[in-house]
Structure 1
């Protein structure tokens, strides 16, 4: 049944945050090696369990945001990014637009334009319609 997804309760939030911190260290290492697309893949592929805990969502967004902002060559990114990441990336782009920071919004809109060209409008619609996996 739709909407009956199980969520991790707040008492496990510390475990989730520890996983996010581990992911953050891995992403920072990739960025130091000048591998921003690999950092983005890592940020997108290792999503935390579904949780209602805002601390976990915010901590994960910070990690994904760091990877998104490191992308300089958007066209080159799509030559290395597998289509399996497109829907997840689109959801985070909307989270970035919601953040309302001008620099973040500019980057998210640049990527959004190219992602829509590459993946089509279905990717956008799936991101907007998914009310369960809200990052």
Structure 2
């Protein structure tokens, strides 16, 4: 029974990786068109992947990270980002902070400050308390 479950999870992981690759191409296209906010929205759609597979989570983080690092205008970001994305964005900001990479941490802290102003402390609590949907 366990081997069957692992096989189904592996098939699911391959399907998720394929979707992430498609999303990555779309994001790169948006970034080339100088649309970083749309790229971030696209990156956050369907996140986190519905899997425990670390390959999927890492692949999705790379896509989200690329979009986060492209954001320059935080006013534009928060004027057009739907509140439904706030909690998931916060999760990815904490993942970025955990990398220890200076440019990533700097960008994540800039966005974190503005996101906390916009969404409140509840956003932080929800992202830390949600252990089911990890990024």
The Cα offsets for residues 39-60 of structure 1, whole Å up to 9 and x where unpaired, read as 0000011325421111110000
State how far apart, in whole Å, the 2-side matches of 1:95 and 1:32 are.
Answer: 25
State how far apart, in whole Å, the 2-side matches of 1:49 and 1:63 are.
Answer: 12
State how far apart, in whole Å, the 1-side matches of 2:111 and 2:26 are.
Answer: 23
Query: Conserved in 1, the CA contact under 8 Å of 2:49 and 2:56?
Result: no
Find the counterpart in structure 1 of residue 56 from structure 2. 56
Find the counterpart in structure 1 of residue 68 from structure 2. 68
Larger-gyration structure (1/2): 2
State how far apart, in whole Å, the 2-side matches of 1:50 and 1:21 are.
Answer: 15
Counterpart of 1:87 in 2: which secondary structure?
A: helix
Query: Conserved in 2, the CA contact under 8 Å of 1:116 and 1:123?
Result: yes
Tell me, which stretches of 5 or more residues in structure 2 are unaligned? 1-7
Query: Conserved in 1, the CA contact under 8 Å of 2:48 and 2:134?
Result: no
- State the TM-score, normalized to the length of structure 1: 0.91
Tell me, which stretches of 5 or more residues in structure 1 are unaligned? 1-7
Provide the aligned length of Structure 1 versus Structure 2.
128
Runs of 4+ in 1 over 4 A off after TM superposition: none
